Structure 1
Amino acid sequence: MTMIAFDLPDGAFAALRKDPQEMQMELRMAAAAKWYELGLISQERGAEIAGLTRVEFMWALSRLGVSPFQEDLDDDAIGHA
């Protein structure tokens, strides 16, 4: 596994009332949810990034207001002939 490290201002931890380990999990979930929402990754990959099972990831998406279903609503997909 590759490790990425970056600095965050101390105020970020206080503002969110998170310790560094909780912040790490929150950041992983936020990134995975956004990338999933944008259609860049699958549920399986999102769950892996977030450190969750696929079912846990789907529940977490719901809590964040992100649909667990990816849709492509172009004209061809809706059945226009």
Structure 2
Amino acid sequence: MARIVDDIPEDALLAPKVSDATAAAEIRLAAAVKLYELGRLSSGAAARRAGLPRVQFLSKLADYSVDTFCLSDDELKRQTHLA
């Protein structure tokens, strides 16, 4: 497993008044959500990155205003035609 270490100014963590562990979990989730939104990770890979079950990760996307499924117009037409 790879490990990424980042220095975060202490005052950046004081505002929300959360523990270091909670802040780390929130940062992992935010990073996973963004990478999923950019199409760099699948939902399963993003969920693993966030340390959550896939279904729970997908439900968290709404908290970040990220669509659960992103389909182009052509993909949407193809999917609705198959239904």
TM > 0.5 between the two?
A: yes
In the alignment, residue 57 of structure 2 is paired with which amino acid? F
Q: Structure 1: which 5+ runs fail to align? A: none
Instruction: Compute the TM-score of the two structures, normalised by the length of structure 1.
Output: 0.84
Q: Structure 2: which 5+ runs fail to align? A: 78-83
Which deviations, in whole Å up to 9, do the C-alpha atoms of 1:29-74 show, x marking residues without a partner? 001101111111110011000000000101111122111102234x
2:23 matched to which residue of 1?
23
- What's the C-alpha RMSD, in Å, of the aligned pairs? 1.4
Larger % of helix: which? 2
Q: Are the equivalent residues in 2 in contact too, given 1:13–1:23 (CA < 8 A)? A: yes
User: Structure 1 CA distance, aligned partners of 2:6 and 2:16?
Assistant: 17
1:4 matched to which residue of 2?
4
User: Structure 2 CA distance, aligned partners of 1:30 and 1:22?
Assistant: 12
Shift of 1:18: 1.8
Alignment identity in percent?
36
